[in-house]
Amino acid sequence: MKLTFMLNGSPVSVETPPDRRLVDLLREDLGLTGTKEGCGTGECGACTIRADGETKLACLMLAAQAQGRDIVTIEGLSPVAGPLHPVQESFVNSGAVQCGFCTPGMVMSIATHLDAHPDTDGDGIRQAVSGNLCRCTGYQKIVDAGLTAAGLMKNKGGCRG
């Protein structure tokens, strides 16, 4: 089937079997390997993307469900050669990246959360990433990064990405 949707700010049109998983379409057909698959059953959050402004799991979405939607992956959160999104910048500076495999999903979850909850706190960040498993960090610096990013985003006055 032919699918048309917005991907990272640009319209795309792809021909794909309708029951193909979105995570496979993104990674294999579109070369966007930033969205990871850690389990395939919605348990780890490594495949978190944004669809119409909300976080969803690409491993549990059919490509067909992307039709007409506004999809943002980690690659689209900030301009390719441009500055990092405040959440990305905070992850770098707060030491929140270890192996980095959970990082794209974490960043998507936190960035989306901060857009809706600029005055969040540590518990709010933990809630926001409650669907993203990390095996390396114990979540502490991820929470720190989220709080730092919240501060940055408020100073810059408004939403990003």
Among 6, 12, 14, 133, which residue interacts with another protein (rule: CB under 8 A)? 133
Comparing CA positions, the residue from 106, 90, 147, 159 lying closest to residue 123 is 147
- Which residues, in sequence order, are CB contacts of 43 under 8 Å at separation 6+? 133
One residue of 71, 72, 86, 141 binding another protein per CB under 8 A:
141
Q: Which of 27, 71, 114, 161 binds another protein (CB under 8 A)?
A: 27
Q: Does 115 bind another protein (CB under 8 A)?
A: no
Q: According to CB under 8 A, which one of 71, 72, 114, 125 is a site residue for another protein? A: 125
Q: Which of residues 47-106 bind another protein (CB under 8 A)?
A: 48, 54-57, 59-62, 64-65, 67, 73-75, 78, 84, 88, 91-95, 97-104
16 contributes a contact to another protein by CB under 8 A: no
CB of 100 to another protein, least distance (A): 3
Backbone dihedral region of 47: left (phi > 0), alpha (psi from -120 to 50 degrees) or beta? alpha
Report whether 152 contacts 86 (CB < 8 A).
yes
Best CA proximity match to 146, nearest among 101, 105, 104, 113: 113
